Structure 1
Amino acid sequence: SAYRLTGEAVLTFQQANRNQKYVQDATAAIVIDDPNSKITTTYNLYDGITGIAGTLSAYSGLLQFVPIADPGAATSHNNTIVPVTRTLATITSADQAKLLKIYSVTLTPNATGVFAATAENINASDASGTGVMRTFPNADYAGTAIPTDPVDIVCLGGQYNDTMQFSPRFLADITPAAGILEAPIVNISQVAGMINLSWNQVPGATNYRIESADDPYGTWSTVTTTPNLFYSGTAVSKKFYRVIATN
């Protein structure tokens, strides 16, 4: 059966390997696997694409969308996709192809100590447990040293059979882990349909990451990062917030 993705999806990554593209909207994300080059339009990162049509397939547990036609010119440009915060233990199948951010990850270097030009698995760990980082072939980090100190990683969720994976897109997605700083004391109020957070300045902090969740024991998502000591947003019926100081 053929399907058409309703609405607009934003391009978060593309590679020459099988002409793959990663797209996501407000509800989900998916890999477009295009070995027959059905999509001929050239897109830039964070372009919006509307009306993608194709069939569904699965590769070792990874859901893929195989296009049957070119969707045409981008319908928007320079969109913003905020990575969802995950730990290695909380990546699930629902995160396939989704833009994620994992903090304080320690990588186990391969025998050469540098990223290979071919795709490879690199063992990883964080405070929640262990996981697998799957590199992209011919990425711009190929040939660079695999970090031995903890790093924060923006990445795309992946899966191989029962193993959840994560893949950084670019070298810029891998940054030194933010230092461990004291937790700010947060004041929260709701006025005129707005939720207002404010907090004390934390010594050594240069930014503050605001995260929210529907369940304080569930998954937290990044709302924004700011150098300010306050944040305001539209109030909803129930939402939990936390503020994390970073440097």
Structure 2
Amino acid sequence: MKKIYFLLLSILLSSASFAQILAEDFDYGTTAGDLTTMSGGAWVLHSGSADPVAYVAAPTSLTMTGYPSSGIGGHATFSGASQDINRAFPEISTGTVYASALINLSAVGSGNYFIHFNSGGFRARVGAKDDGNGDILFGIGTSSSTLTYGTTPYSLNTTYLLVFSYEIATGVSNLHVLSAAAVTEPAAPEATNTGNTGTAINAIAFRQSSNIPSVAIDGVRVAENWNDIMNNSTTPSLSITAPVNGTEYAPGTTSVDVTTTVQNFMVANGTGDGHIHQILTTPGGTFDEFKYDTADQAIMVADGESYTIFMELVDNSNTPITPAVNVTVNFSVGSLTTVADIAALRADVDLNGTGGTYLLQSVPVVTYTRTSRNQKYIQDASAGVLIDDVPGNIATTFAEADGMSGLTGGVSIFNGVLQFNPSADATLVASTAVTPEVVTIATLLTDYADYQSELVKIVGATFTETGSFVNATDYTINDGASMVFRTNFSEADYIGQAIPTASGDIVVLVGEFSGAPQVTARTLTDLTLSTTSFEAKANFAVYPNPTNTGFVNITTTANEAIKVTVFNILGKTVLSQTVNNTVLNVSSLNAGVYILKLNQNGATTTKKLVIK
């Protein structure tokens, strides 16, 4: 039964013993499935969306005589290129971190790493590659994806015990490949590598990417010495399996389960070895009590506060055991930053970096949606931003021209593009489609940061290349200046279609790749806008332009009324009138750049207007 405390947050406590830090036997029952689900959240996703790491149900464990995590439960398999997952353990900040795993590879490619320690950076990256004769070479890299490989060939479809280590002070990583359990550490490793020093370690991770082997893995153990890798310790230990010490949780978090793990010590109320003394320090006071089981505790949390929890193993007379086994963890919950609009969001990120969590007060409009990573482009009157929602936290279905209210989450930057990472669902609000602002390529080349992720129109653009569009390819567009048009959307209906050969207006989303602006279209319609029918037939004219007289003349050869809508550079309608080949009064408008949208007999065109 869970106890409820009115605290702020839950915690991951550091191990308080010299036993193994983690013993992962993949003993999650007789139902197979996604490891992150079947493990009850012990393994968590940190990258990618497809190809989940699979739990193969018990009894299918890998075995090796003399290894303490042999023949227990099931095992895990992976061979894809997407999802990366990790399991946290109490942080180790000094000495040497050891890990071991039973592995069996059924196929191997040209080489890549598939298991590593995790923290502020990947450490002790272990990989495998084909030796050119159908056998396996194993390698390790401390902090680089370029591994140092051993020279011993190993066989496919054979179970080996990998033991790898990272010495925090020196940055030395060693890899041993064993065919039988070893009581002492062999003098010569299969491979060794030196890299970054000083990284505290708090998780072990499985990585999927191109050229990784097809992996079956079991019996993952983490310890601070070789002996505890190869033996089940009798030393009492106390830990909390999630989350990590020092974590700041997202604003809006209200409750997190604290999972206590005790080894080699029976926790009970007078009938075991003793119990747990815990002190919870909260803004509302200190809670000092004894805990007589290891059941989960649900900690109630609130925004903007910091907390401390202390736990210690005590005997049945409430005296701490000797040597002492205790842990202290500090944790907090962040505060929500409210921003008026997307421009204010961008300004705060520019000033304070990407660590904030935001509530957007404006109601942006969706300009494009993708199934890939659940991405959505949104835009309000101030700016645009790309939503990158790998976990699928926005459960509501949005379409182009829908408004989105109550958007909350954090941000990240990928290749120069600001991405909004939602932490909760948003509300659909009825809205209207965004009218693309007319811009020139020259403007985008100099001010692309101001237009990032916005939908814009480029008038009179031509493509330099001919032929058909190919996905993930750069092309050149020109309207007097030139820039990159990239086919970023593999799902776009113009992939495989002919590149337009005539000059025309195009609608594009503005992007960036590592400091260089680029644009891409959503659909074939965006690339085949009509540019001649109205203006050529009607002999369209707007003058004077620029104007400082308070009016402009709008004329056509057709003797029909013209519906005129004037937008400011934020896309907001500032004037709407119907004129008959006569004067449009713009005296109410401030000096600046505006977009005229004109409609006559169903034909529509746009024109930039400058008021001085």
- Superposed pair shares fold, TM > 0.5: yes
Amino acid at match of 1:50: S
- Structure possessing the higher radius of gyration over alpha carbons: 2
**Match of 2:373, SS?**
helix
**Number of equivalences:** 232
Superposed, 1:46-195 pairs within 5 Å as 46-72=401-427, 74-77=428-431, 79-91=432-444, 92-109=448-465, 113-116=467-470, 118-127=471-480, 129-135=481-487, 136-175=489-528, 178-179=531-532, 184=541, 186=543
Aligned CA distance change for structure 1 residues 240 and 162 (closer, same or farther; 3 Å): closer
Aligned CA distance change for structure 1 residues 228 and 42 (closer, same or farther; 3 Å): farther
Aligned CA distance change for structure 1 residues 209 and 176 (closer, same or farther; 3 Å): farther
**Match of 1:119, SS?**
coil
Q: Tell me the alpha carbon deviations over residues 43-73 of structure 1, each in whole angstroms, 9 at most, x when there is no partner.
A: 121000011111111111111111111113x
In the alignment, structure 2 segments of 5+ residues that lack a partner are 1-355, 599-604, 607-612
Conserved? CA contact 2:367–2:378, under 8 Å: yes
Q: Tell me the alpha carbon deviations over residues 67-113 of structure 1, each in whole angstroms, 9 at most, x when there is no partner.
A: 111113x1214x13111111111111110111100011111336xx2
Aligned CA distance change for structure 1 residues 164 and 34 (closer, same or farther; 3 Å): same
Conserved? CA contact 2:365–2:380, under 8 Å: yes
Amino acid at match of 1:169: R
Mapped to 2, the partners of 1:101 and 1:133 lie a distance apart of 13
Identity of aligned pairs, percent?
32
Deviation at 1:171, TM superposition (A): 0.7
**Match of 1:90, SS?**
helix
Aligned CA distance change for structure 1 residues 208 and 242 (closer, same or farther; 3 Å): farther
Q: Tell me the alpha carbon deviations over residues 172-212 of structure 1, each in whole angstroms, 9 at most, x when there is no partner.
A: 1112563586772537899xxxx764422258xxx898777
Provide TM-score, normalisation by structure 2. Answer: 0.34
Structure with more relative contact order (C-alpha pairs < 8 Å, separation 6 or more)? 1
Aligned CA distance change for structure 1 residues 210 and 6 (closer, same or farther; 3 Å): closer
Deviation at 1:137, TM superposition (A): 1.4
Provide TM-score, normalisation by structure 1. Answer: 0.77
Mapped to 1, the partners of 2:498 and 2:579 lie a distance apart of 31
Deviation at 1:119, TM superposition (A): 2.8
Deviation at 1:236, TM superposition (A): 2.8
**Match of 1:18, SS?**
helix
Amino acid at match of 2:458: I
Aligned CA distance change for structure 1 residues 172 and 201 (closer, same or farther; 3 Å): same
Deviation at 1:120, TM superposition (A): 2.3
Aligned to 1:6: 361
Q: Tell me the alpha carbon deviations over residues 142-176 of structure 1, each in whole angstroms, 9 at most, x when there is no partner.
A: 22111122221111111111211111111111125
Aligned CA distance change for structure 1 residues 146 and 71 (closer, same or farther; 3 Å): same
Aligned CA distance change for structure 1 residues 202 and 209 (closer, same or farther; 3 Å): farther
Mapped to 1, the partners of 2:363 and 2:596 lie a distance apart of 31
Mapped to 2, the partners of 1:176 and 1:48 lie a distance apart of 25
